[in-house]
């Protein structure tokens, strides 16, 4: 079992884009949880990498995430389903020297799953935020999570991640992060 550590984590947001989010079955909850995760990463100064699948056709990352992250995140275009197929993204992850990759986005059973598997094959400790992931159908989302689990990644929720990073109520940013989920 792995407990997340804010000093060893990197957040990887997969394709939470304008046209894709409108196609997922859980749009409202996915957006809400994604923004909470992005906000928390920003507050804790956890590095963030954001991928965009063919943004010319699918739009950019949704504004609610971009507004929270500002200039903190690196944005990378991709056309492969696995983000790791893009050498610039793979290099940015490697250069971060962070070993815990916390990943969420769209679609669970395609881009998230294939990226998770590629990261696992490179030796990373991968954690998927299940309630910040989505697919066009709930069935595909659940099948994607099952596949991810079979391939050795950890599956947790937004609140589990937040409180693992904080470790306790004495963390300097506890109240600020607690307010995100009230």
Which active-site residues does the annotation give?
Answer: 15, 78, 111
Whose CA is closest to 65, among 41, 99, 98?
41
138-150 and 113-121 helices, crossing angle to 10°: 10
Q: How far apart are CA 104 and CA 128, in angstroms?
A: 6
Q: How far apart are CA 128 and CA 100, in angstroms?
A: 11
Q: How far apart are CA 161 and CA 154, in angstroms?
A: 11
């Amino acid at each position: 079992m792995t407990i997340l550590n804010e000093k060893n984590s990197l957040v990887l947001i997969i394709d939470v884009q304008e046209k894709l989010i409108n196609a997922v079955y859980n749009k409202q909850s996915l957006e809400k949880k994604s923004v909470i995760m992005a906000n928390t990463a920003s507050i804790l100064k956890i590095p963030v990498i954001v991928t965009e699948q063919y943004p010319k056709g699918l739009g950019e990352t949704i504004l609610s995430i971009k507004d929270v992250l500002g200039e903190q995140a690196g944005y990378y275009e991709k056309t492969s389903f696995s983000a790791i197929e893009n050498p610039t993204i793979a290099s940015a992850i490697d250069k971060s020297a962070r070993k815990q990759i916390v990943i969420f986005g769209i679609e669970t059973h395609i881009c998230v799953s294939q990226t998770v598997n590629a990261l696992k094959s490179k030796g990373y400790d991968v954690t998927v935020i299940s309630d910040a992931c989505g697919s066009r159908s709930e069935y595909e989302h659940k099948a994607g999570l099952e596949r991810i689990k079979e391939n050795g990644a950890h599956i947790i929720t937004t609140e589990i991640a937040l409180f693992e990073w904080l470790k306790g109520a004495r963390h300097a940013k506890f109240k600020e992060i607690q307010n995100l989920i009230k």
